[in-house]
Amino acid sequence: MLQGLFGNKSVERILLFLLVNEKTYAMQLHRLLNTPLTPLQKALEKLEKEGILTSSREGKIRYYTLNPSYPLLSELELLLKKAYSLLAPQEKKAYYSIRHIPSEHKRNQALLLATWKQLQAIEKVDFRFRSRGGEQGEGAGEVSVEYDGKGAIVFRESGVWKGAGDREFRFSNLFRWTLSRIDSLLTLEHLRYGVHNPVFLFHLIPTEENLFASVHAHQCGEDTYLGHLAAKSKALELTWRILGPRKNDVVTYLYT
């Protein structure tokens, strides 16, 4: 899609991947995008030389990010978001670093049931919001777990949200989690319009290392939603990635 503009398919893939995931390294791109390593390495070096990317070492790995000082960064991100919005859902998902890796059904079921048990015991939520545009906020609240008698549980969340200028606002949310043992997945819906008019968010399937990843990139209007759920020993961490014409956001919920 952007190959004609950039003159290089590797450059297009690198920039789209960084739009979604914020940082990467050559071997990760090679593995996840099934692209030859040498062209990726050369493209990364070229993009850094031209000031579009910047890099830093973490241990033995050199990570690359979009350069916040690049003069045309805002225009570049608008172009990338437009190109990303035109991709098919499965193509969008291909650029997300959290990917489904086939594993044993028995292990998937064990993770699924253990996480379902954790969801039923949740009492609190802490969350953070961060936008590439510099906006950020955080909040905390209580969670009341209710059973609907149909293999689903509802989270009633209420608390305080702190935004720009440390202004505080009360918030309330209503989410529904549904377990499907047959399909080995969890479904997350928002109930802002009531229990009979749910807003679908994600189907989450087990992956390696106690992770669930969204099956597809979910489209809501002009915005694309991707997500993953990390099951930890004493907490569940749900991360949303939201991309759209006016959005480039990350929202993280920590449930305990």
CA 144 to chain CA mean position, Å: 25
Task: Report the sign of the C-alpha dihedral through residues 57, 74, 97, 205, in that order.
Answer: positive
Give this prediction's pTM.
Answer: 0.73
Q: Integer distance in angstroms from the first to the last C-alpha of the chain?
A: 43
- pLDDT in 10s for each residue of the chain, 256 residues: 455 456 678 898 899 989 888 889 999 888 888 888 999 999 999 999 999 999 999 888 999 999 989 999 888 988 888 888 888 777 887 777 665 455 556 677 888 889 999 999 999 999 999 887 778 899 999 999 998 767 899 999 999 998 777 788 999 999 999 998 888 889 999 998 988 889 888 889 887 678 898 887 777 878 888 889 999 988 999 999 998 888 889 999 999 9
CB 19 within 8 A of CB 243: yes
The predicted structure's pLDDT at residue 183: 80
Q: How far apart are CA 217 and CA 117, in angstroms?
A: 26
DSSP 9-61: HHHHHHHHHHHHHSEE-HHHHHHHTT--HHHHHHHHHHHHHTTSEEEEEETTE
How distant, in Å, are the alpha carbons of 130, 164, 247 from that of 137?
7, 7, 15
The DSSP output letter for 166 is: G
Q: How far apart are CA 137 and CA 38, in angstroms?
A: 40
The predicted structure's pLDDT at residue 182: 80
Domains of the chain: 3-86 (1.10.10.10), 105-255 (2.40.128)
Q: Could you read off the pLDDT of 60-90 as tens digits, one per residue?
A: 899 999 998 999 988 898 888 888 888 877 7
Burial per residue of 41-67, b for 16 or more beta-carbon CB atoms within 10 angstroms, e otherwise: bebbeebeeeebbeeeeeeeeebbebb
Comparing CA positions, the residue from 46, 40, 10 lying closest to residue 25 is 40
The predicted structure's pLDDT at residue 103: 53
Residue 134 corresponds to which amino acid?
A: G
CB 205 within 8 A of CB 188: no
Question: How is residue 216 written in tokens?
Answer: 């597809």
Q: Could you read off the pLDDT of 164-203 as tens digits, one per residue?
A: 777 889 999 999 999 988 888 899 999 989 888 898 888 8
